[in-house]
A and B are shown apart, each in its own frame.
Chain A
């Protein structure tokens, strides 16, 4: 593999061709990992389900069919084929609620990851680029955030801001941010003294351009891997907050909130508890499988081992 890249770089290539070559190489290593491909397939399927929820779901997620409360799944005794995964204690169709719940989980993942990633990159770039007292202050602040268990900090922040999904997401993003700050800072410090950065500075690039255009694109690999991890962590933490009654509020069909509502029925109706948890587990597992594949494909240290 080393020989081919060398010969490719030796002749002048357009940046578009270069990017295509890099993507092809990335896909080669990513697709070698069967688990990662499986994770990607599940994730894409989830995205499709979330986007077309209103077409796929057999019922409304909020409609209460009072005559059909606590109906077991279709294949179990007493089940009704119209309610494939059964109904919850107030007669809502569990399958439809799960389908709409996918929208919540994916939105939570995207929102929290974007927020903590952008915040973390900006703060980390500043700390790593300027160093000195700014760096010290920023890193001590990050230490302080890391001294609290993330769920506890999120719980307390929600207690201050009031229980809602938005506040929960902001709180989770805050607790995930220090990891991005640390990664960006370390990468920037490693890259800053390289020749290409010096060359760009001599060519007259200002600090903003140096930080975002010159250095940042060369620090992306660890950030992408961390972003996948944050995506699955965000979904887990938001579901945990929902389960504690501090995240999305009923009747929202958020998976953690569904579990909280189902808790008192666990010994009477196993299905109201089982399916929302399976949905959370499968989603988080798919993202973590992809994360492992991304790490293998992007981390040159592990590539050839």
Chain B
């Protein structure tokens, strides 16, 4: 298992170097003078230009600049925002919990509904249940989630007024962030109604973000279950007289889960892309909205840093999924 871990990490190194080269080149590929773009100053005298260029280290050869950048990244220095002048990593850590909280709730919804739906559809194959569930799953899979979010806002925030339109908690409540996770912080604050407010703010965005992963997990669970249910050992278990619940829940589900876990892992990358849209619609202060706002503000330093950080997260998640997969399915290790 340790060798498997090392091999997996070794494959990641060239990918990480490639990702860092892309992030590094990004600013230099933009039309216009990178020094002007990074300093945010439109018009400057040649002396000022040379001064800033030296200050940013951009008068040196590209290769040295790259290694300098890579060294900074590895020691946690991602540069500073052009607009707010704050260090990018600090901003990232301030916003990241919001995205994690949202994505976590979404993936919990997707798993809690998707796996049972897929199992039921597989057991009742060809029935009205199966067709109905899979029909809904295909609609969810085809959903433009930015529109889905707007529809939910019209219905639940506009007409019914059940849920708020945007933000993480009502402005009535104020407490300093302890963990950055609003659900935990609101409980810790001890203020009456704060937790309920946090939940009601979280409801619509997590439903929207959960939609596509939910559909994918349901479809994948169904096809994995169908494959497993036709195996000999399931027939043997049935022939032994085990209850249908034991056969499906213990013998079949365990093996069917192997491909489903991979699917869930892959959905995390999909969710970070979905977070870009969901956070924009609901004004959720996470890294997805941060990236979109930075594109509009032309804050290229933030885009560069965010690009690298997000890619690093996805690579890390994929590594964890690979390792989990190796744990459940020992055949894959070699």
Chain A residues with CB under 8 Å of chain B are 35, 140-141, 143-144, 147-152, 155-156, 159-160, 162, 232, 236, 239-240, 243-246, 256, 259, 263, 266-267, 270, 273-274, 276-277, 280-281, 284-285, 288-289, 292, 305
Chain B residues with CB under 8 Å of chain A are 11, 14-15, 18-19, 22, 26, 29-31, 135, 138-139, 141-144, 146-148, 150-151, 153-154, 157-158, 226, 230, 269-270, 272-274, 276-277, 280, 291-292, 295-296, 298, 300, 303, 307, 310-311, 314-315
Complexed CA–CA distance, A162 and B19 (Å): 22
Candidates A35, A240, A245; contact of B277 at CB < 8 Å = A240
Chain B's nearest CB lies how many Å from the CB of A127? 15
Chain A's nearest CB lies how many Å from the CB of B127? 15
Residue of A with least CB distance to B306: A152
With A147-B315, A285-B138 already in contact, the answer to whether A155 and B292 are too (CB < 8 A) is yes
17 sample A-B contacts, Cβ–Cβ < 8 Å, listed by A number: A143-B11, A144-B15, A147-B19, A149-B314, A152-B276, A152-B310, A155-B292, A155-B295, A156-B307, A160-B29, A244-B292, A256-B146, A267-B157, A270-B154, A273-B151, A274-B151, A288-B141
With A156-B303, A159-B295, A244-B292 already in contact, the answer to whether A151 and B273 are too (CB < 8 A) is yes
With A147-B19, A149-B272, A243-B277 already in contact, the answer to whether A284 and B144 are too (CB < 8 A) is yes
Chain A's nearest CB lies how many Å from the CB of B312? 8
Q: Within 8 Å CB of B22, what residues of A? A: 144
Complexed CA–CA distance, A273 and B153 (Å): 11
Most buried by B among A155, A259, A288: A155
Chain B's nearest CB lies how many Å from the CB of A66? 25
Candidates A144, A159, A266, A277; contact of B144 at CB < 8 Å = A277
Q: Ordered nearest first, which 9 A-B pairs have the shortest CB separation?
A: A277-B147, A149-B273, A144-B18, A284-B142, A151-B273, A285-B142, A147-B311, A280-B144, A267-B158
Residue of B with least CB distance to A147: B311
Chain B's nearest CB lies how many Å from the CB of A284? 4
Q: Are B147 and A280 in contact (CB under 8 A)?
A: yes
Q: Within 8 Å CB of A152, what residues of B? A: 272-273, 276, 291, 307, 310
Complexed CA–CA distance, A213 and B274 (Å): 40
Q: Are B15 and A140 in contact (CB under 8 A)?
A: yes
Residue of B with least CB distance to A175: B273
Q: Are A281 and B270 in contact (CB under 8 A)?
A: no
Chain B's nearest CB lies how many Å from the CB of A280? 5
Chain B's nearest CB lies how many Å from the CB of A94? 14
Complexed CA–CA distance, A147 and B21 (Å): 13
Chain B's nearest CB lies how many Å from the CB of A257? 12
Q: Are A243 and B146 in contact (CB under 8 A)?
A: yes
Residue of B with least CB distance to A284: B142
Q: Within 8 Å CB of B135, what residues of A? A: 35
Chain A's nearest CB lies how many Å from the CB of B100? 15
Q: Are B154 and A267 in contact (CB under 8 A)?
A: yes
Q: Are A150 and B142 in contact (CB under 8 A)?
A: no
Q: Within 8 Å CB of B138, what residues of A? A: 35, 285, 288-289, 292
Chain A's nearest CB lies how many Å from the CB of B135? 8
Q: Are B150 and A273 in contact (CB under 8 A)?
A: yes
Candidates B150, B226, B303; contact of A159 at CB < 8 Å = B303
Q: Are A259 and B147 in contact (CB under 8 A)?
A: yes
Apart from A156-B26, A159-B30, what 17 extra A-B contacts exist at CB < 8 Å?
Answer: A35-B135, A143-B11, A148-B310, A149-B269, A149-B270, A151-B277, A152-B272, A155-B291, A159-B298, A160-B31, A239-B144, A243-B277, A244-B280, A266-B153, A276-B147, A280-B144, A288-B142
Q: Are B150 and A151 in contact (CB under 8 A)?
A: no
Q: Within 8 Å CB of B314, what residues of A? A: 147-149
Q: Within 8 Å CB of B150, what residues of A? A: 259, 263, 266, 273, 277
Complexed CA–CA distance, A274 and B155 (Å): 11
Q: Within 8 Å CB of A151, what residues of B? A: 273-274, 276-277
Chain B's nearest CB lies how many Å from the CB of A109? 13
Q: Within 8 Å CB of A256, what residues of B? A: 144, 146
Residue of A with least CB distance to B144: A280
Q: Within 8 Å CB of B291, what residues of A? A: 152, 155
Q: Are A285 and B14 in contact (CB under 8 A)?
A: no
Most buried by A among B147, B226, B291: B147
Q: Within 8 Å CB of B295, what residues of A? A: 155-156, 159, 246
Complexed CA–CA distance, A270 and B150 (Å): 10
Complexed CA–CA distance, A226 and B25 (Å): 31
Q: Within 8 Å CB of A284, what residues of B? A: 142-144
Q: Are B142 and A281 in contact (CB under 8 A)?
A: yes
Q: Are A281 and B147 in contact (CB under 8 A)?
A: yes
Candidates A150, A280, A281, A305; contact of B273 at CB < 8 Å = A150
Q: Within 8 Å CB of B143, what residues of A? A: 281, 284
Q: Within 8 Å CB of A259, what residues of B? A: 146-147, 150
Complexed CA–CA distance, A259 and B15 (Å): 37
Q: Within 8 Å CB of A239, what residues of B? A: 144, 146
Candidates B19, B30, B276, B303; contact of A144 at CB < 8 Å = B19
Chain B's nearest CB lies how many Å from the CB of A285? 4
Complexed CA–CA distance, A155 and B276 (Å): 10
Residue of B with least CB distance to A150: B273
